[in-house]
């Protein structure tokens, strides 16, 4: 039974095993809980500050793309890193993130901790947080370099054009095409020997 130390009333009854587990969790929270909670709140506050700054950044460039994928992000990194800073955050709308998540999963590490997801951090790519927020309009991506008192931004607005190949995911080769190529190579090798 857990008892309120102030008035002696029982909070709830539990089995001895449940009481041991609860007391262990309480001890862990008392030992490290305050610092963990402070860290979580500070993390969420820091992400919110980056997003708030990114919202008002003027557009640096407009790129015509066929789709949003890692090559676009690579060029955004390059543009900001050309100023001799390290990209720490990439802020985008959920629709752009869905394209990256769908086609370029191998370039990023998806977040699984609920508290990071609630802050908007969906993944880490090349050391930078990919942050999704509805406050960034569809078609805008903001690259941020936030270290200490230094903050730099590079914002691109994407103009989608179905005829553009830039940013489209690479096409996969069907097995029939591969077999045809292999047959041609084998024919050529047979003729030369």
Q: What pLDDT sits at residue 183?
A: 78
Residue 91 has pLDDT above 80, yes or no: yes
Question: How far, in whole angstroms, is CA 71 from its chain's centroid?
Answer: 16
List phi, psi (to 5°) of 100.
-65, -45
pLDDT value of residue 12: 67
Tell the burial category of 60 from Cβ atoms under 10 Å away from its Cβ (0-12, 13-18, 19+): middle
Structural domains of the chain, ranges and CATH numbers in brackets: 45-160 (3.30.1930)
Q: What is the pLDDT of residues 144-159, one digit of tens each?
A: 998 878 888 999 888 8
Q: Average pLDDT of 62-72?
A: 81
CA atoms of 68 and 63, how far apart (whole Å): 11
- Tell me the C-alpha distance between 89 and 55, whole Å: 13
Is residue 96 predicted with pLDDT exceeding 90?
no
Work out the percent of the chain whose per-residue pLDDT is above 70: 80
């Amino acid at each position: 039974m857990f008892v309120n130390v102030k008035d002696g009333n029982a909070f709830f009854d539990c089995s001895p095993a449940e009481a041991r587990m609860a007391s262990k969790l309480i001890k862990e929270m008392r030992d490290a809980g305050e610092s963990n909670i402070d860290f979580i709140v500070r993390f969420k506050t820091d992400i919110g500050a980056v997003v708030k700054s990114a919202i008002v950044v003027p557009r640096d460039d407009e790129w015509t793309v066929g789709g949003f994928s890692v090559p676009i992000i690579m060029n955004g990194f390059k543009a900001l890193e050309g100023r001799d800073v390290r990209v720490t955050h990439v802020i985008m709308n959920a629709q752009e993130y869905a394209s990256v998540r769908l086609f370029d999963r191998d370039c990023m590490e998806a977040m699984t901790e609920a508290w990071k997801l609630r802050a908007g951090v969906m993944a880490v790519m090349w050391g930078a947080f990919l942050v999704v927020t509805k406050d960034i309009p569809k078609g805008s991506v903001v690259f941020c370099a936030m270290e200490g008192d230094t903050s730099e931004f590079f914002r691109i607005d994407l103009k989608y054009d179905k005829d553009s190949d830039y940013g489209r995911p690479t096409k996969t080769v069907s097995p029939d095409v591969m077999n045809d190529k292999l047959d041609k190579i084998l024919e050529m090798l047979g003729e030369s020997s």
